[in-house]
Structure 1
């Protein structure tokens, strides 16, 4: 039975304090939260004097509210744990991070084939890994793309999903023509080799510093864009001004709007950069994407583009 819960940082202090935590950190903080509440319940059972009972009654509504909050977040963590375990997301996440942050084409290709052939992984996750791989190694694919397409046809069945998987297979090559590195104004990966990137070598080098763990190695393009804004190094040819004014010092307020949808990782990046640069940074977008909604939206718009081309 599906149960919906409301998470609102404005009336949920625990959620507000842990909104930007990753799965492991959030689970740990929830465990502490439960233990703290359990300690309070123990204190309640040990009320002995009239004064102690009266004080408890005065704070009873707060006690009930906290009990509901603890129950809600514990249920959430239990559900997350089940999803992470069922879909083997820890293993998938490690591989995703390794693809985008390392340059190991042969090893990654072998691993990807193993993932696709493993029936314990969800079919959509196999498709997502394949898309990450072909964007990462577009310049090295050659005949490997047809091999991956064949494997996906053999091992993936997404009947009943809103995305028609066979159309995705047919569009794999064409998608690169539309979304590939030749179409991007700035590089996403360290070793992309395009004419533009050759002119912008200072932008090419990713510095993966302050890596907390293998699950958070990747930094989105937005991270670098914000840093360049704060250093007054943003390229005007990529982000033109609407006025003749130029920045001579870092802004105190920065509004970023991403057309087509932002991601949760980008929201996390904005939160971190807000603290790092001591700047009031606001992220706006018509939609917050996960990988499924992003792929669905991309395929829909790309298909429309082909129909009108």
Structure 2
């Protein structure tokens, strides 16, 4: 079960089926993202694809010598655009692939438009999602809650994306869902109806133990997306933002032009692949080693004194250039993370967050938050984050001071709209919204400080929090997940412990949960888990999600003084 591999195989097959010769790849906005996340442009160029075009872009040239591979989502708009294209074809031959099931009616529309008989192939390839890591996918939907119910467009898109994941992995699962969430039940029902309707597509070879699809609702754990992160991939997303593997560094002081936008992809960057789940201190050590390795190699290349030296340099040049690019990219990214950690007092902020998430010491936490709210280094975003965490943690505490803290936010210049996020988080993920005991199972005695080592200026920080997902999956793997809380859809039940699990989070998942999945897989031989969500959140996108759920609109940008 590897979602990156599943999508890559589809794309390779599309390109190979058109045979030798020069090709153009014609996509829409979403399929462009689906392809670019798993394939570097240089890799596709090696497969004789010389041009990448968008079907909705005007003014494309006619190039009859090119074969056209179309990879499109089966939307009404795309079908109309493709029908217009086929009436006046710009390319020699067309090989058409839809990322999901297309209706017979739409195929008929295309057939009628193909007067010049340029279409050689129409197929469904189920790559209708973004494969972020081998075990993590997203649908890039923020705002799936309308009020606290499904937005109908988001529900439809989620069903399409989730069934396409199942088809691409060739799985026909038993479905379990979070019983406290009506949205989880609705999604489970819709996925089952799609599987029944397209039963022929889901006829895969039966395994001894059927896979399980587990559908969860973000509202059951609103704490995880609120926390600052300390592993590389999660930290980059939290502080800089990752979208389709791209990071915008244009605001970094003194950044060079070629590093204003960088790509972080474990598929194409060995250093990132080896470090994405390590903590910040370890990355500091590893980046130092990467630089030293590069410097020693570049010094040996500096001695180009003979023809054989020159030959050796030219032979190694692509590798050398690639390594140079990798070093400068990661030094820039880690340097910026390090700057922000110091500038925004993030070690102290994170320590307070972790205590709120994992301990139960009301007066100590309240004092620490008040002290941080009076600290000018702490950003508005982090102030809001702390007060929201406090509100969730001490919602029913007799001495809670949520109103006092919200008043302090007002004095610090945080707008009305953003202060309402404190009450919005309680409506979204407070005690009444949850089906689980989010805080009750924490053991303060087990709470320990972990020493970050290696990077100068990083001292102690708490990294104790484990997402609720960790215990849910742990129970599922051991066959102990309560059926009353997570019922099966339909009458059949799993007799054995599951070996293949696909988890999906309505309302978005996080890189911290992705790390938890990885840890569980390592400690559970024979178990494979894929995690997905409507989106992959950092705090900013999570605030948007809560805002739409709360009042049906998106918040304006919060000043984070970055």
Tell me the TM-score normalized by structure 1. 0.84
Shift in CA distance, 173/67, structure 1 to aligned 2, threshold 3 Å: closer
Question: Matches of 1:50 and 1:175 in 2, distance apart?
Answer: 68
What residue ranges of structure 2 are gaps of 5+ in the alignment? 1-249, 252-259, 452-460, 554-562
Structure 1's unaligned 5+ residue stretches are: 158-164, 191-203
Q: Quick check: 1:261 aligned with 2:508?
A: yes
Alignment of 1:51-66 (within 5 A): 51-66=308-323
State how far apart, in whole Å, the 2-side matches of 1:154 and 1:275 are. Answer: 48
Counterpart CA distance in 2 for 1:121 and 1:209 is 25
User: Which protein, 1 or 2, shows the higher relative CO under an 8 Å CA cutoff with sep ≥ 6?
Assistant: 2
How far, CA to CA, are the matches of 2:487 and 2:418 in structure 1?
Answer: 34
Deviation at 1:173, TM superposition (A): 4.3
Query: Could you say what the CA RMSD is over the residues aligned between the two structures, in angstroms?
Result: 2.4
Cα distance per residue 1:50-82 (max 9 Å; x no partner): 545433322221111111111111111111112
Q: Deviations over 1:196-254 (max 9, x none)?
A: xxxxxxxx355858975543100000000110011001111221112433333332211
Q: In structure 1, which of residues 133, 141, 146 is the aligned counterpart of residue 403 of structure 2?
A: 146
Superposition deviation, residue 148 in structure 1: 1.2
| Structure with greater strand percent | 2
Query: Cα deviations across residues 23-68 of structure 1 (Å, max 9, x unaligned)?
Result: 2222221111111111111222345665454333222211111111
> Secondary structure of 1:183's partner?
coil
Counterpart residue number, 1:294: 542
The alignment of Structure 1 onto Structure 2 pairs a total of residues equal to 285
Give the TM-score, by structure 2 length: 0.48
In structure 2, the residue corresponding to 1:216 is in which secondary structure?
coil
What is the CA–CA distance in structure 1 between the aligned matches of 2:380 and 2:422, rounded to whole Å?
16
Deviations 1:159-186 (A, max 9, x none): xxxxxx3134346446435521232111
Aligned CA distance change for structure 1 residues 205 and 65 (closer, same or farther; 3 Å) = closer
Quick check: 1:181 aligned with 2:438? no
**2-structure distance, mates of 1:78, 1:175:** 33
Query: How much does 1:10 deviate?
Result: 0.9
Partner of 1:137: 394
Preserved CA contact (<8 Å) 2:394 2:400: no
2:373 matches 1:116? yes
Structure 2 CA distance for aligned equivalents of residues 106 and 209 of structure 1: 18
Which one has the bigger helix percentage?
1
